[in-house]
Amino acid sequence: MGGLTGVMGAKPVPGASATPSRWRTPAGRLSRGATLLLGLALVLLAMVWGAASGAYAIAPAQLPGIAWDGIRSLWGGDVQTGPEHLVFLNIRLPRLLMGVAAGAGLGLAGALMQGLFRNPLADPGLIGVSSGAALAAGITIVLGGMYLPWLPRHLGSWALVAMAFGGGLAVTAVVYVLGQVQGTTRIGLMLLAGIAINALAGAGLGFLSFVSTDEQLRNLQMWLLGSLGASRWSAVALVWAAVAVSAAAALALARPLNAIALGEAQANLLGVAVEKTKRRAVMVAALAVGAVTATTGIIGFIGLVAPHWVRLIAGPDHRVVLPGSALLGAALVVSADAVARTIVKPAELPLGVLTAFIGVPLFLAMLRQFRSKV
């Protein structure tokens, strides 16, 4: 039972088989291990850069000492604290860690959405979680004072975060339910529902802008532009928890999503639990993006770009695209935030603006280099 290669005289395709090594796959892509190592290195580099930069001047040589003091202070002991300690440990470090979690969550959710919709243009916003969070934030900011006075009473400063998170999840649930037909999720239907609900949320935001006072309007606008400025340790812990749970749940979705690339019918015939996979992907993405957006506002572009980039380097296997997008997203957000904090110091640019400014040129540069593979 031989093949037809020699018989039919088919010529091997030139350049198709690069010598596989630990770093490269036979197809000439970067291997999974190499890609994840690269991603990790980028995250660490970004963190080092972020730790060393900021409006407040701290000599980089001091940083390890300050970090060690911070760790020591957690379980008692004499700690000499100076203003650098406060700035680094209470302001800069939580912000750095928030950036890692936020970027990881957004990158991961973007990769999940692209796998779910079988389309590289998909973005977590399609399922409505970002616009739902924005709408809930708008309601809290504009109507909260008058109609929801119990909110700050019970939740204090967490009112806005809790509402935004709840809003994101609620709107995603609506979009998901609208996409159900006889117990199955129709992705095409969900896409249309998402578009419609996003438009509705946008209209809601427009109306809120209309009835808002000047102050509320500006507060809402600034929230929408996205920022890591409100990163207190408790918020950092919560977002890390949400993103860690999402990442753990997403690992199991990698191979099913690979099979779904053949189409849902074929994936079903391969034994993939397609409905369960779709539901899980939506839930995980909503959890990650909801938690991040509730705390930081809208940071765009990461969920769209990071997976693309990983695919350009390492191919479309979700076992590398999912973790790779998380790592790359983290590196992007931390880097963008480092720039946002220093480029107009002592003021600060909104992060959402910067992620686009940084992301787009890098993405285009990548495209140019890998033009042939697209």
Partner 1 sequence: MSAHQGLSCLECRHLGVGVAKGPRLATVDVRIPAGRFTAILGPNGAGKSTLMSMLVGERAPQSGQVLLDGQALSAHAVEGLARRRSVMPQDCSVAFDFTAQEVVELGRYPHRHQPGAGEAQIPAQAMELTGVDHLAQRSINTLSGGERARTHLARALAQIWQPPADGAARWLLLDEPTAALDLAHQHHAMRLLRQWAGQQGAGVVAVIHDLNLALRYADDVLVLGGDAGVHHGAVLDVLQPALVRQVWGMQCDPVRSSDGALQYIFVADTALPV
Partner 2 sequence: MSTARISRRQGLQWLGASVAGTALPGLAQAASAAAAPGAKRLVSLSGALTEVVYLLNAQNLLVGTDTTSLFPEAAQKTAKVGYVRQLSAEGLLSLKPDAVIATSEAGPPVVLDQIRQAGVRVSLVAARHNWAEVQEKVKVVGRETGRMAEADQLLAQLEAQWSSVQAQVAKAQRKPRVLFVLSHSGSPQVAGKGTAANALIQYAGCVNAIDQFDGYKPLTAEAMASAAPEVIINTTQGIEALGGEAAFWKRPELALTPAFAKKALVTLEASHLLGFGPRLPSAVQALHMRALQWVA
Question: Does 67 help bind partner 2 (rule: CB under 8 A)?
Answer: no
Selection from partner 2, partner 1, none that 229 binds (CB < 5 to 8 A by kind) is partner 2
Kindly state the DSSP code that residue 30 receives in the 8-state scheme.
B
Question: Does 278 help bind partner 2 (rule: CB under 8 A)?
Answer: no
Interatomic CA distance for residues 42 and 328, integer angstroms = 7
Site for partner 2 in 304-363 (CB under 8 A): 341, 344-348, 350
Least separation, in Å, of the C-beta of 119 and partner 1? 7
Least separation, in Å, of the C-beta of 255 and partner 1? 7
Selection from partner 2, partner 1, none that 219 binds (CB < 5 to 8 A by kind) is partner 2
Question: Does 230 help bind partner 2 (rule: CB under 8 A)?
Answer: yes
Least separation, in Å, of the C-beta of 363 and partner 1? 17
Interatomic CA distance for residues 243 and 237, integer angstroms = 10
Are 47 and 96 in contact by the 8 Å Cβ rule? The answer is yes
Residue type for 251, please? L
Are 105 and 289 in contact by the 8 Å Cβ rule? The answer is yes
Chain positions contacting partner 1, by CB under 8 A = 1-5, 8, 10-13, 16-17, 26-28, 118-120, 255, 258-259, 261-263, 265-266, 268-273, 311, 315-317, 373
Kindly state the DSSP code that residue 180 receives in the 8-state scheme.
E
Interatomic CA distance for residues 100 and 239, integer angstroms = 10
Q: Which is nearer to partner 1, 118 or 186 (CB)?
A: 118
Q: What does residue 61 show for φ and ψ, rounded to 5 degrees?
A: -65, -25
Selection from partner 2, partner 1, none that 81 binds (CB < 5 to 8 A by kind) is partner 2
Task: Provide the 10 A C-beta neighbour count for residue 13.
Answer: 7
Selection from partner 2, partner 1, none that 14 binds (CB < 5 to 8 A by kind) is none
Site for partner 2 in 141-170 (CB under 8 A): 156-157
Are 317 and 32 in contact by the 8 Å Cβ rule? The answer is yes
Interatomic CA distance for residues 214 and 164, integer angstroms = 21
Per CB under 8 A, the list member of 7, 12, 80, 372 interacting with partner 2 is: 80
Selection from partner 2, partner 1, none that 131 binds (CB < 5 to 8 A by kind) is none
Per CB under 8 A, the list member of 28, 70, 204, 316 interacting with partner 2 is: 70
In DSSP terms, which residues pair with 110 in a beta bridge?
A: none
Are 193 and 175 in contact by the 8 Å Cβ rule? The answer is yes
Selection from partner 2, partner 1, none that 121 binds (CB < 5 to 8 A by kind) is none
Per CB under 8 A, the list member of 25, 30, 36, 92 interacting with partner 2 is: 92
Least separation, in Å, of the C-beta of 53 and partner 1? 37
C-beta pairs of 198-204 under 8 Å, 24+ apart in sequence? 198/125, 198/126, 198/128, 198/131, 201/128, 201/131, 201/132, 201/134, 201/135, 201/171, 202/131, 204/135, 204/138, 204/139
- Report how far Cα 48 is from the mean position of its chain's Cα atoms: 20
Interatomic CA distance for residues 314 and 31, integer angstroms = 6
Question: Does 63 help bind partner 2 (rule: CB under 8 A)?
Answer: no
Selection from partner 1, partner 2, none that 41 binds (CB < 5 to 8 A by kind) is none
Binding residues (CB under 8 A) for partner 2: these are 54-57, 70, 73-83, 85-87, 89-92, 156-157, 210, 212-215, 218-219, 222, 227, 229-235, 237, 341, 344-348, 350
